[in-house]
Structure 1
Amino acid sequence: MGENPPRRRCWDWMVVSGTNHYAKNRASFKSYRPVNRMVPNGPFQGGELYIAGIGTVELNVRASPERGSPTRTLVLDNVLHIPVAICNGFCPMLYHQTCGGRSILGAPFQGTDEHGAALWFGQPFCGLQKLALAGNPQGESYLNEDDINVLSLYIDEEDLENVLPSG
């Protein structure tokens, strides 16, 4: 009986709605605090969800689809580590609420900083949008157009207070 090869990091940062950013792999985090908590999984998914930890993730993204566009760094705080997730989730509403700027619906779906400069954009992937990462890193992809359910994560504010760092 052979051993399973180690899984590579998932680089699919899907653009989602909801209340939180989340990451599948522990390796995604720049800083990390274990929490080991179960929380109700919002009104749409039902059941409970295991959150292994919480921390900060830095993503190097392409600012726009234009050739030669600059690379930007998105710093995502309070990212939930959810090992059972089928991808990573980037919540633009939450990002722009905490960091300024805004999201612009369209083709492509994109975001700007507080001065209106291009900051990030989404690329079509499995019928949805994912962040265009700089350098096009390769890893495991668990998404399949045929079996995508709801990727957005909704956690009640009171349940979230039990997970997020106080202060």
Structure 2
Amino acid sequence: MNPGSYRLSRQVLQQMIDQEYDELFNQNETIYNTQVQGQSYSQQSQRNIDELFTTTLSEPLKKMHASYLRSVAKNCYQEKHLDDHFPNLQQVELCRELERQKIMGKFEKYHALARDSSKFKYQDCIFAANNNLNRAIACIEEYVDNTKNDNNIIAAQFKIDYPNFA
């Protein structure tokens, strides 16, 4: 049987990707991958951040991106920009960026502000913790919780700003 014709489920493929990622980037042995079967705080926060795009807003963002691509195809690839004698790549790129801002700009701005807010709270908390390990761990745990709360806040704002995609 040809290995290219295997049909693997999403879960198996995701496990393969996770295993390869762990082999590449988690080369240090820690208690999280030897003694305790769990995830480090870094892995938890990254999972929470990714969850917004993989589950919470996956379908609406796909619809939004498809709308963006249709708009770009309609508005940015006009004959006047694609002349063989004078291709105007800069004009096409500018048009694509303007279309992206029209369709996704509000979401991207709000997403960045929400994530930055959590990062700043975390940095301020770590600074205030100084050399107190228990307070620093509490800051990290609070940051992990904030990443999860940010997902809910961003998703709620997305539904308000983009009811046609939700």
TM-score by length of 2: 0.18
**Structure with higher strand content:** 1
**Structure with higher helix content:** 2
Q: Which has the larger radius of gyration?
A: 2
